[in-house]
A and B are shown apart, each in its own frame.
Chain A
């Protein structure tokens, strides 16, 4: 019987991914000496915004504490960051308290929400660019 993913897989998977990304960041920062990040391959070749355009700027703004700016560049970045921090904090506290009290659970609807934000953001950016020539 095939089932959807649950907290049993999602919780450790998120921690492992965060550790892998932290190691990758340290390699990029110290071993490679901060090489410049190339521009979007999609925009460079087709001159239209891809669903991820603005993501890098949004991550940099978020790291510097500029939350509204991050939301402006790419709303999915702030949404993902806040929901992952809330989920991991909630799950960790719940586990430390012997699995008692309120806790956030993972559902596949979260992935659908993230996908929807990516697609709607891409549609709005391209509409603003092609219709009114407003770059974001």
Chain B
């Protein structure tokens, strides 16, 4: 998979992220792979009733923003979650 496809696929749920991590261009897509990983990891808190649901909606907005940014071929940080770096 080329860089752009990897960037886009990473935001398509956990399945997409796993596909991007296994088959994608890990070296050049590091920014979006990291951002998608952070969003989906923090999104797991969405299973907590009430406060978690609000957080889940926020993570959904972040995932869509990251997805659009990847489609446009840009590297834009999502609010709050964008500053976390898990992949070195």
Contact = CB atoms under 8 A, between A and B. Distances in A.
Interface in B56-88: 57, 60-61, 64-65, 68-69, 72, 74-80
B48 A9 contact: no
A9 B51 CA distance: 25
Contacts of A78: none
Q: What is the interface residue range for chain A against chain B? A: 20 to 34
A56 B77 contact: no
B65 A2 contact: no
A41 B52 CA distance: 9
Interface of B: 31, 48-52, 54-55, 57, 60-61, 64-65, 68-69, 72, 74-80
Interface of A: 1-6, 8-10, 12-14, 16-17, 20-21, 37-42, 50-53, 55-56, 108, 111, 115
